[in-house]
Amino acid sequence: MNKFILKLIISLLVFYPIAGIAVGLVLYEYYPMHYFPLYPVIPSYFTILGVILFITLLHYSKNNPEKIINAYMMIRGIKFLLTVGAILLFVTMSDNYEYEFSLTTVGFYFFYLFIETYIFTKFEKERISKCKKE
């Protein structure tokens, strides 16, 4: 399990920033009118939330495995509310790039939602198979 967890953490910390850099480069090079100065905050924000999700899953898998799905869904709900709040805050406080910021944030939200769901299913399958072996 430790090798599996290390593999997931490394993939999380490598894949998330690479995806953010790749999208940023595409925006900057090919669609410069849609690139905005706060763009790097969006992939960083989702990377931090992904790490928090993973740490929480590790905590619940060791201490309270029967509540891991509740914790996962609670974190997903909090992530949604934080993301909507960030979009609304930016839109109300900014005069520029509201459309670009909102669209980019929603795009990253769904992208990371897909990746985190994939990671969670892998994590759960590994945890369940470990429990069956014991």
* C-beta separation of 8 from 119 below 8 A: yes
Please determine, for residue 15, whether its predicted confidence score (pLDDT) is greater than 90: no
The residue behind tokens 């060791």 is 62
pLDDT tens column, 109-133:
998 888 888 878 887 887 788 778 7
* C-beta separation of 40 from 24 below 8 A: yes
Looking at residue 34, what is its pLDDT?
A: 85
pLDDT: is 119 or 29 the higher one? Answer: 29
Please determine, for residue 65, whether its predicted confidence score (pLDDT) is greater than 80: no
Please determine, for residue 54, whether its predicted confidence score (pLDDT) is greater than 60: yes
* C-beta separation of 79 from 49 below 8 A: yes
Confidence of residue 25 (pLDDT cuts 50, 70, 90): very high
Distances (CA, A) of 11 to 5, 36, 84, 119: 10, 27, 26, 10
* C-beta separation of 36 from 97 below 8 A: yes
The residue behind tokens 């994939």 is 118
> Which residues span the domain enclosing 90?
2-133
Looking at residue 70, what is its pLDDT?
A: 87
How many Cβ atoms sit within 10 Å of the Cβ of residue 70?
11
% of the chain beyond a pLDDT of 70: 96
Looking at residue 24, what is its pLDDT?
A: 92
pLDDT: is 105 or 95 the higher one? Answer: 105
* Structural domain count of the chain: 1
